[in-house]
Amino acid sequence: MGTVSDAEKKPAVIFVLGGPGSGKGTQCANIVEHFGYTHLSAGDLLRAEIKSGSENGTMIQNMIKEGKIVPSEVTIKLLQKAMQESGNDKFLIDGFPRNEENRAAFEAVTKIEPAFVLFFNCPEEEMERRILSRNQGREDDNIETIRKRFNVFLESSLPVVEYYDSKGKVRKIDAAKSVEEVFEAVKAIFTPKEEKVAV
């Protein structure tokens, strides 16, 4: 096998998971700014692909229109392409894997296991309060839809969190606190502990 060249060096990937309104987006922006990660949102990449009017984008749009789930491979290819184009080697992947099938496919296709999963743990009441007070005019921000999104998150994404938890790879953050307090907790995870340096 020999030594691993830079080209083969696997990028560091961190999955960012949390329910709707858990503050993931805000904290991802902070991590990018302070720690130099590239933030990739699966949803944004799919939306951008649709907007581009490519053949792939049209296929994705039709699937979404028909209420079908976009296949894992499609999302993973977009993520891979974005990773290659970014020129960076450390990534926050946000809102993916959404379920076990996504997770298994990601590892199978990319051969990358995440360094860890950053899980924003936030009680449902707090998420509801935040989303309703956001009032960014997202038409899907009514209480029924929020509860539905939350339940989908619990059913599909929590098994992913549990899988990585069993491997000791989940860093859970109490996301109900203020943005500043949450970022302090995030910083503690991303800042290398000095003790580790001493051999």
Is residue 114 within 8 Å of residue 14, measured between CB atoms?
yes
To the question of whether residue 75 is assigned a binding role by annotation, the answer is no
Is residue 135 within 8 Å of residue 141, measured between CB atoms?
yes
E-only strand ranges, 5-81: 12-18, 38-41
To the question of whether residue 43 is assigned a binding role by annotation, the answer is no
To the question of whether residue 97 is assigned a binding role by annotation, the answer is yes
To the question of whether residue 153 is assigned a binding role by annotation, the answer is no
To the question of whether residue 134 is assigned a binding role by annotation, the answer is yes
To the question of whether residue 70 is assigned a binding role by annotation, the answer is yes
To the question of whether residue 171 is assigned a binding role by annotation, the answer is no
To the question of whether residue 47 is assigned a binding role by annotation, the answer is yes
To the question of whether residue 149 is assigned a binding role by annotation, the answer is yes
Is residue 28 within 8 Å of residue 39, measured between CB atoms?
yes
To the question of whether residue 69 is assigned a binding role by annotation, the answer is yes
To the question of whether residue 87 is assigned a binding role by annotation, the answer is no
To the question of whether residue 53 is assigned a binding role by annotation, the answer is no
Radius of gyration (C-alpha) of the chain in whole angstroms: 18
To the question of whether residue 123 is assigned a binding role by annotation, the answer is no
Is residue 93 within 8 Å of residue 112, measured between CB atoms?
no
Strand (E) or helix (H) holding 172: strand 170-174
To the question of whether residue 138 is assigned a binding role by annotation, the answer is yes
Return the number of other C-beta atoms located less than 10 Å from residue 5's C-beta: 7
- Cα 18 from Cα 123, distance rounded (Å): 10
To the question of whether residue 71 is assigned a binding role by annotation, the answer is no
- Cα 20 from Cα 95, distance rounded (Å): 10
To the question of whether residue 156 is assigned a binding role by annotation, the answer is no
To the question of whether residue 16 is assigned a binding role by annotation, the answer is no
Mark the binding-site residues for a ribonucleoside 5'-phosphate, compressed into ranges. Answer: 47, 68-70, 95-98, 138, 149
Mark the binding-site residues for CMP, compressed into ranges. Answer: 102
Mark the binding-site residues, compressed into ranges. Answer: 21-26, 47, 68-70, 95-98, 102, 134, 138, 149, 177
Mark the binding-site residues for ATP, compressed into ranges. Answer: 21-26, 134, 177
